[in-house]
A and B are shown apart, each in its own frame.
Chain A
């Protein structure tokens, strides 16, 4: 299983891998916003956390369609399906590697983009923390979409459409936790705990559902 983790990590860092593309997309999306809403620093610092969260959500959906499709195209998926290791565990490890390669860089890049958004230190810290807690959930939800769309020739867009509605609660609680940290009366912990609960919940449900979908997609 450790071998699988490092193989997937290597694949996403090697030439043609998607690790850098996600961060680049994140930066581009976030830097486009001020062109749309205008360079008003107060406004930007107010909407900054939401922008960062939406950008991270979209960016982490980017490479998801290849999660199982690449394995299917070269026949590796067959071998993984045959293997006696529970498929759920295989899916979980693949998700973890995918998050480490694409989700973690987003978390690392977010404080710098926070500066662009003129956010203060507290807001930036809260955004990084919530992204760290919340983006794994997006990956696990995305794995279900990727598994459902694995046999489709152009699954990429479909995966995003399938996954976005399910990932909305993560976005809602992620953003509300950041605002709770910044604005005084609202407490930070309740939404943050719910966010972590969501991540743990999807860490279990996502691989189970994805494994089931993969078994049925075998042709």
Chain B
């Protein structure tokens, strides 16, 4: 067992920041929320979402530790693949590739292979992925790990924007995300 007795609810426009020491189960919690792991007990439910969606992960973006982009393909090929593969959730529209790349401050290099980019640039392009297909819920695992201060602010702007449009953000992080008000969930881990 990794954690127990966790409960929270989020409405549109609200953010949850999950904090805690290494090994306290932040990533595991997020993977359970994303539907990638089965919780041994407990329930995750979606209240008054669009019809036909039973579980929040169907309406979620998940940005894990890895970027889910192919080094061999160009940034544009990567993003347009995910745009077409993921599609939009009902009730929202996505920005096109150029706008998304500009939003993460990397307009003009989408024709380059993803592998040419530095680690920070790759992370920012992975965030652009959140913008090219609309999902009301963003599940972000250490989103700002490889970023410098400037990119941090840029990312905080993206999150704030998403919240203002009525989205939900759940992020696990060590650093502050720079979002105005957010609920926090402090994971303490077990003391055996």
List residues of A whose CB falls within 8 A of some B CB: 1-4, 7, 10-11, 14-17, 73-76, 78-85, 218-219
Give the tally of cross-chain contacts (CB within 8 A): 66
Flag B66-85 by CB within 8 Å of A: 1 or 0 each: 11111111000100111011
Which one, B68, B81, B85, contacts A75 given CB within 8 A?
A: B68
Which one, B58, B66, B80, contacts A3 given CB within 8 A?
A: B80
List residues of B whose CB falls within 8 A of some A CB: 31, 34-37, 57-58, 60, 62, 64-73, 77, 80-82, 84-86
Q: Are B77 and A7 in contact (CB under 8 A)?
A: yes
Q: Cβ of B37: which chain A residues have Cβ within 8 Å of it?
A: 218-219
Q: Are A10 and B64 in contact (CB under 8 A)?
A: no
How far, in angstroms, from A4 to B87 measured CA to CA in the complex? 13
Q: Please list 21 pairs of residues, one from A and one from B, whose beta carbons are closer than 8 Å in the complex, sorted by A's number.
A: A1-B85, A3-B80, A4-B81, A7-B81, A10-B77, A11-B72, A16-B72, A73-B66, A74-B67, A74-B71, A75-B64, A75-B65, A76-B69, A76-B70, A78-B36, A79-B62, A79-B86, A81-B36, A82-B35, A85-B85, A219-B37
Say yes or no: A4-B85 contact (C-beta < 8 A), given A75-B66, A75-B68, A218-B36.
yes
Q: Cβ of A78: which chain B residues have Cβ within 8 Å of it?
A: 34, 36, 62, 64, 66, 68
Q: Cβ of B31: which chain A residues have Cβ within 8 Å of it?
A: 218
